[in-house]
Amino acid sequence: METLSAGGKIARFFFAWVLLFLIWLMFTSTLALQEVLTGAGVSFIIALPTNRFFTEVQLYRFKPLRLFYVIEYLFVFLWALIVANLDVARRVISPKLPINPGIVSFKTKLTSDFAKMVLANSITLTPGTLSVDIIDDTYYIHWIDVKSLDPEQCKKDIAEQFEKILLKIF
Amino acid sequence: MNDILDIFGMILLLIGGIFLFLGGLGIFRMPDTYNRLQAGTKATTLGGMSVILSVGILEPGWFIKTLVLVIFIALANPISSHALAHANYKRGNKPYLKGGPEYDQYRKVFEPEVKETKDNTTEKVKEEETA
């Protein structure tokens, strides 16, 4: 974890505050003055002890172009999620239960913890794979239908499409 | 317009229901914890998401709230399944392997001596199993 300057800490606090406040606004879905003021107060109090859990990413690294890749990523991800569900459905329904499970490993080029977490979560929600562990830069993935034990091939099959975009975002 | 939205919401509800059912069936049919998690996580993520979204579409006042819930599900489901799988492995619950022990590459993290003599171990384990 990077150590933050005082300014970074304040930015981090404001990030948490604004995020919590936005969630409050979405849940109450009203702009009545009472509600908004209460929300601002409550999210301020919650942000005080919890802001260090919200982000480890330095906020000044935010660039508008990244937002475009985030949207691209969301579409790739949603498509993969639907494919994953159809895949699971096919395996569950078919009487023979066509599975060949195993745990494979591969290395990633991503460096930041946050990016690794996003990749791990995406892997879990895409066809036939479930991330079991990340040790430094090595992923251990439970694969319901192992096609190859070679790390390079595994990576190509499982993670390539996400990692390409994530490398651009982070 | 409202009718179309209603029908769309109901279709979404039906799809969600089907996927949740398949997830349950998957938990029932799969041979071990990890495969059950696979079925459970994916099916409940899309199933739960579409059920909650359909509630938002049928009841437009709640739409933003349901959107927040969908995001929470998308974030929380994979993390919890990862935690379950990880804890299970650490506790010694070995995965079901159809193709033999070399299909479990995670094992060498917990058994360092396997890592050193990587080439011999797979055969050694096979011998032990046949013996």
Q: How far is CA A153 from CA A104, A147, B10, B31, B103, in A?
A: 10, 9, 41, 26, 14
Residue in A closest to B71 by C-alpha = A23
Which residues in chain B have Cβ-Cβ distances shorter than 8 Å to A29?
61-62, 64-65
Residue A40: both structure tokens together: 């601002």
Query: From residue B100, how far is each of B22, B103, B109 by CA, in Å?
Result: 28, 6, 18
pLDDT of residue B128: 52
Q: How high is the pLDDT of residue A128?
A: 76
Residues belonging to chain B: 131
Instruction: Give the Cα separation of A49 and A102 in Å (integer).
Output: 41
Mean pLDDT of A34-39: 87
Q: pLDDT tens digits, residue range B44-87? A: 888 888 899 898 888 888 888 888 888 888 888 888 888 888 88
Instruction: Name chain B contacts of A103, Cβ cutoff 8 Å.
Output: 34, 95, 103-107
The C-alpha of A82 sits at a distance from chain B's nearest C-alpha, in angstroms, of: 7
- Summarize pLDDT for A104-127 with one digit per residue, the tens: 777 777 777 777 888 888 888 777
- Out of A26, A128, A135, whose CB is closest to B109? A135
Choose the closest CB to B41 out of A82, A130, A133.
A130
Residues of B in contact with A105 (CB under 8 A): 105-106
Do the chains contact at B98 and A82, CB–CB below 8 Å?
Answer: no
The SS3 of residue A100 is strand
pLDDT at B14: 92
Q: What does the alpha-carbon distance between residue A110 and residue A54 come to, in Å, rounded to a whole number?
A: 20
For chain B, count helices (H), then strands (E): 6, 0
CA distance A119 to chain B (A): 11
- Which pTM was predicted? 0.72
Does A56 score more than 70 pLDDT? no
Domain residue extents for chain B: 2-94, 97-131
B106 close to A133: Cβ distance less than 8 angstroms? yes
Contact A118, B82 (CB under 8 A): no
Question: pLDDT by residue (tens digit) across B12-47?
Answer: 899 999 888 888 888 888 888 888 888 888 888 888
CB B23 within 8 A of CB B39: yes
Across the interface, whether the CB atoms of B99 and A146 are under 8 A apart is answered: yes
Share of chain A above pLDDT 90, in %: 0
CB-based contact A132 B34, cutoff 8 Å: yes
Beta-sheet strands, E only, within A18-156? 102-107, 129-135, 138-143
The answer to whether A158 and B49 have CB atoms below 8 angstroms apart is no
Task: Please list, in sequence order, all residues whose beta carbon lies within 8 angstroms of the beta carbon of residue B35, skipping any fewer than 6 positions away.
Answer: A99, A101, A144, B26, B96
Q: Is A39's Cβ below 8 Å from some Cβ in B?
A: no
